[in-house]
């Protein structure tokens, strides 16, 4: 093990190892705890005989195990909760946040606390990053090079960023900091890496952030090739004979598997990167990206026209003449045909789903069997729409047997669970997977996901600062004019095109999207403020406005007047408009101020009675840059 926690006893036969494994804390033949340099076969520290433990007062003690006296080893520091061994051959006492407090050789350690933001490389054994808010959050370097992130709240919790990820975060011109970002259906302070332009390069808990990359070139889902401009997101390519499958997994790894054994033959080793996707870029390189679109691995190729998975165990990137510009070879000797692989959107009788994927015809919904342990249905933004843990056996796969019954089968082919059937095909449709008969009768389907009120904004804004407004019964151009767009300054374009045009210091980017008879206005920039009430002249409007680090503003307008203003974070605030009362009732929330802080986009949509989707906002819109003043 790598650390001894407060009140845990070092048991006989156990060792606390340094990151490299060279130094070990263990018991000798006399029952004394000793710190040994294995390479030199010498003892660097020794206690009296007895069981070693870190007491609640931060003192490292030994006890004889029979109720006898407890003795101090001489190592102690108030607040110490963890004991570790360093590669220098020392013992160190750390706080619960993994901040160094005391070194057995050097004594008390002076550490520097950095508030708010710091380059990842600047977080060292002697320097940690913190954010002081309602709950204190700390990022500290551990002896093995990883980063431990701790939140001090009731039931304090922590997680570790692996050393591989921690090294990747050490990019020039970037800092680790916190921003208010979407976290499932809520907004929360989120640890992230940002570059000099303020763009996100990484964020914690990427599975809770729905990401919508630019459209990719279509391809035959589940086939053997990915064309230039194509993308894999939780999807697979399978060789013509079915013996090999290349799949993008939701931990960020791109893995080549042998079928039907499920043995991993090769991978990019990017298991630490978190969810994302794989692009065959316009320049012809194969790139693995995280959920923020930042590259975490490259093949380093140029001019690749297509990526092909072969039955010979090879994955090759080929140019326009069919010449290999990059490739790997793995396990070709044991390749055997496996024609029973489901491809495209459907699994038919006699076919199985192992380390493969099925993709809906529109490319947005993907069903996968993850590492033989979990069935997952992913949506267009990478969100999990449905999943089932396969507890029945290790390395299971899904099979639609010849009798039409959908079963889980173990690695040896034995049936371990019956899911549904009989039917003729399991087909993935937009938002769900259904088991149906040839006449279209549905006999089973995945559960439908809860309504999503945040992913449409995640497709546009990544820094947590925005102003979103729904105006009833007026068209986008009229809404932009009321907001202050100058005559002739309204054009048609995408959100990304609009952001490239705006100078953050002199104007605000505004896009107007059509939602039926209504208009959705989205503003981005610095120093955002709610629109003026005259936006609602002769109609009804709702707005939520949030700047990074500030309380949100949630306002309701009717016929040019403010009829509800819920801001300031007062939990005793009460709804002042019937539309807000109905929305809160549907949300099961009493306080509009609390809903505005935690679920502002859902409150906006329910109050305005709209339900935008990512598809509503990734298409061209009416756009303008509105000057300040």
pLDDT confidence of residue 278? 95
Residue 563: alpha-carbon gap to chain centroid: 38
What is d(CA 619, CA 397) in angstroms, rounded to the nearest whole number?
38
The residues, ordered by sequence, that sit 6+ positions from 169 with a Cβ below 8 Å of its Cβ are 120, 147, 161, 176, 193, 202
- Would you place residue 393 in the very low, low, confident or very high pLDDT band (cuts 50, 70, 90)? low
- Rounded to whole angstroms, the Cα distance separating 148 from 197 reads 26
Task: Check pLDDT > 60 for residue 69.
Answer: yes
Measure the CA–CA gap between 467 and 465, rounded to whole angstroms. Answer: 7
CA distances to 186, 187, 270, 462, 534 from 183, in Å: 5, 5, 23, 12, 33
Coarse DSSP helix, strand, coil percentages of the chain, rounded to the nearest 5 percent: 10, 40, 45
Calculate mean pLDDT across residues 516-522.
92
Whole-angstrom Cα distance, residue 55 to residue 135?
26
- If pLDDT is split at 50, 70 and 90, which confidence band does 446 have? confident
Query: Would you say residue 547 has pLDDT above 60?
Result: yes
More confident residue, 193 or 389: 193
For residue 624, with 0-12 CB atoms within 10 Å meaning exposed, 13-18 middle and 19 or more buried, which class applies? buried
Q: Provide the token pair at 174.
A: 């970037």
| Mean pLDDT of the 40-52 span | 87
- Is the distance from CB of 70 to CB of 61 less than 8 angstroms? yes
Q: What's the chain's average pLDDT?
A: 85
What is the band of 451 on the pLDDT scale with cuts at 50, 70, 90? Answer: confident
Residue appearing with tokens 């550490």: 111
Question: What's the rounded mean pLDDT across residues 279-293?
Answer: 93
Alpha-helical regions (H) of 423-507 = 455-458, 476-483, 495-501
Residue 279 has pLDDT above 80, yes or no: yes
Report whether 226 contacts 232 (CB < 8 A): yes
What is the C-alpha radius of gyration for the chain, rounded to an integer number of angstroms? 29
pLDDT at residue 110, as a whole number: 80
Question: Which residue spans within 335-379 are E strands per DSSP?
Answer: 346-348, 351-353, 357-359, 366-370, 374-378
Determine the pLDDT at residue 339: 66
Residue 574's CB: how many other CB atoms inside 10 A? 13
DSSP character at residue 497: H
- 0.75 exceeded by pTM: no
State which of 147-156, 318-327, 456-465, 496-505 shows the largest mean pLDDT. 318-327
Q: Which residues pair with 157 in a beta bridge?
A: 151
| Cα distance from N-terminal residue to C-terminal residue, the chain | 61
Which one, of 504, 376, 360, 493, lies nearest residue 368 by Cα? 376
C-alpha–C-alpha distance, residues 394 and 533, integer Å = 60
Q: Which residues contact 393 (CB under 8 A, 6 or more apart)?
A: 408, 410, 411, 416
Return the axis-axis angle of helices 578-587 and 600-608, rounded to nearest 10°: 120
Structure confidence at residue 155 (pLDDT): 54
Residue 372 reports pLDDT greater than 60: no
Q: Are 409 and 400 in contact (CB under 8 A)?
A: no
CA-based nearest residue to 85, from 132, 42, 48, 44: 44
Q: Is the pLDDT of residue 39 over 90?
A: no
Does residue 124 have a pLDDT over 70?
A: yes
Per-residue pLDDT at 208: 74
pLDDT higher than threshold 60 for residue 200: yes
List domains and CATH numbers for the chain.
Answer: 3-110 (2.90.10.10), 114-208 (no CATH), 225-445 (2.90.10.10), 455-627 (no CATH)
Task: Find tokens 């790139």 and name the residue.
Answer: 287
> Torsion over CA of 181, 187, 191 and 197, rounded to 10 degrees?
20
CB 41 within 8 A of CB 49: no
pLDDT value, residue 247: 92
Q: Which CA distances in Å does 581 have to 7, 127, 339, 560, 590?
A: 51, 49, 58, 21, 9
Q: How many of the other CB atoms lie within 10 Å of CB of 429? A: 16
Residue 503 clears pLDDT 80, i.e. is over it: no
Bridge partners of 129?
A: 114, 139
Percent of the chain at pLDDT exceeding 70: 90
- CA atoms 294, 300, 303, 308: torsion sign: negative
531 by DSSP, 3-state: which? coil
Q: Mean per-residue pLDDT for 286-314?
A: 91
Average pLDDT of span 151-161: 73
Can you give the pLDDT at residue 505?
A: 62
Q: Are the beta carbons of 554 and 544 closer than 8 angstroms?
A: yes
Calculate ∠ Cα 107-46-76, nearest 5°: 35
| Phi, psi of 9, deg, nearest 5 | -95, 140
Beta carbons within 10 angstroms of residue 218's beta carbon: 13
* Band of residue 288 on the pLDDT scale cut at 50, 70, 90: very high
Given a cut of 80, whether residue 499 has pLDDT beyond it is: no
Instruction: Phi first, then psi: give them for residue 200, nearest 5 degrees.
Output: -70, 135
**What is the structure's pLDDT at 550?**
64
pLDDT of res. 570: 58
Task: Quick: pLDDT tens for 402-430.
Answer: 998 888 887 777 887 788 889 999 999 98
Let me know the angle formed at the C-alpha of 234 by 232 and 239, rounded to the nearest 5 degrees.
Answer: 65
Question: Would you say residue 603 has pLDDT above 70?
Answer: yes
**What mean pLDDT is predicted for residues 242-256?**
90
């Amino acid at each position: 093990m790598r650390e001894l926690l407060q009140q845990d006893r070092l048991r006989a036969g156990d060792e606390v190892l340094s990151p490299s494994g060279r130094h070990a804390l263990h018991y000798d033949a006399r029952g004394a705890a000793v710190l040994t340099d294995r390479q030199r076969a010498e003892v660097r520290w020794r206690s009296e005989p007895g069981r070693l433990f870190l007491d609640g007062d931060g003192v490292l003690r030994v006890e004889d195990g029979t109720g006898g006296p407890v003795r101090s080893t001489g190592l102690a520091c108030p607040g110490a909760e963890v004991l570790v061994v360093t590669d220098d051959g020392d013992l160190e006492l750390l706080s619960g946040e993994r901040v160094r407090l005391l070194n057995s050789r050097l004594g008390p350690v002076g550490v520097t606390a950095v508030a708010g933001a710091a380059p990842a490389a600047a977080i060292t054994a002697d320097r940690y990053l913190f954010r002081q808010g309602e709950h204190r959050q700390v990022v500290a370097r551990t002896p093995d090079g990883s980063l431990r992130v701790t939140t001090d709240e009731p039931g304090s919790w922590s997680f570790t960023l692996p050393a591989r990820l921690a090294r990747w975060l050490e990019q020039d011109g970037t800092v680790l900091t916190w921003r208010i970002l979407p976290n499932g259906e809520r907004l929360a302070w989120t640890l992230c890496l940002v570059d000099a332009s303020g763009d996100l390069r990484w964020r914690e808990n990427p599975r809770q952030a729905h990401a919508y990359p630019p459209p990719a070139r279509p391809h035959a889902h589940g086939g053997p090739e990915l064309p230039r401009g194509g993308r894999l997101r939780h999807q697979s390519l399978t060789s013509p004979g079915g013996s090999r499958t290349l799949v993008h997994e939701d931990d960020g790894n791109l893995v080549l598997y042998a079928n039907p054994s499920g043995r991993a033959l090769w991978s990019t080793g990017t298991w630490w990167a978190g969810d994302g996707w794989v692009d065959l870029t316009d320049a012809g390189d194969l790139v693995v990206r995280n959920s923020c679109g930042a590259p975490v691995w490259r093949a380093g190729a140029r001019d690749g026209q297509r990526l092909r998975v072969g039955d010979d165990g090879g994955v090759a990137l080929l140019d326009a003449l069919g010449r290999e510009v990059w490739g790997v070879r793995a396990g070709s000797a044991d390749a055997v045909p496996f024609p029973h692989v489901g491809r495209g959107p459907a699994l038919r009788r006699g076919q199985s789903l192992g380390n493969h994927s099925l993709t809906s015809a529109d490319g947005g919904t993907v069903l996968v069997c993850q590492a033989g342990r979990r069935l997952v249905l992913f949506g267009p933004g990478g969100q999990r729409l449905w999943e089932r843990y396969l507890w029945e056996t290790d390395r299971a796969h899904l099979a639609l047997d010849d009798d039409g019954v959908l079963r889980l089968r173990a690695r040896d082919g034995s049936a371990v669970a019956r899911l549904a059937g009989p039917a003729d095909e399991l087909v993935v449709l937009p938002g769900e997977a259904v088991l149906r008969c040839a006449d279209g009768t549905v006999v089973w389907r995945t559960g439908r996901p809860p309504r999503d009120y945040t992913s449409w904004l995640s497709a546009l804004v990544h820094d947590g600062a925005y102003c979103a407004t729904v105006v009833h019964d007026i068209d986008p151009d009229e809404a932009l004019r009321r907001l202050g767009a100058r005559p002739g300054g309204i054009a048609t374009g995408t959100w990304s095109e609009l952001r490239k045009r705006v100078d953050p210091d002199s104007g605000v980017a505004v896009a107007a999207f059509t939602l039926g008879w209504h208009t959705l206005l989205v503003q981005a920039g610095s120093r955002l403020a709610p629109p003026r009430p005259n936006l609602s002249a002769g109609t009804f409007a709702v707005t939520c406005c949030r700047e990074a680090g500030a309380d949100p503003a949630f306002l309701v307008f009717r016929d040019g007047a403010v009829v509800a203003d819920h801001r300031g974070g007062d939990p005793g605030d009460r709804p002042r408009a019937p539309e807000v009362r109905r929305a809160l009732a549907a949300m099961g929330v009493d306080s509009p101020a609390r809903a505005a802080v935690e679920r502002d986009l859902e409150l906006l949509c329910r109050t305005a009675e709209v339900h935008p989707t990512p598809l509503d906002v990734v298409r061209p819109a009416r756009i303008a840059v509105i000057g300040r003043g």
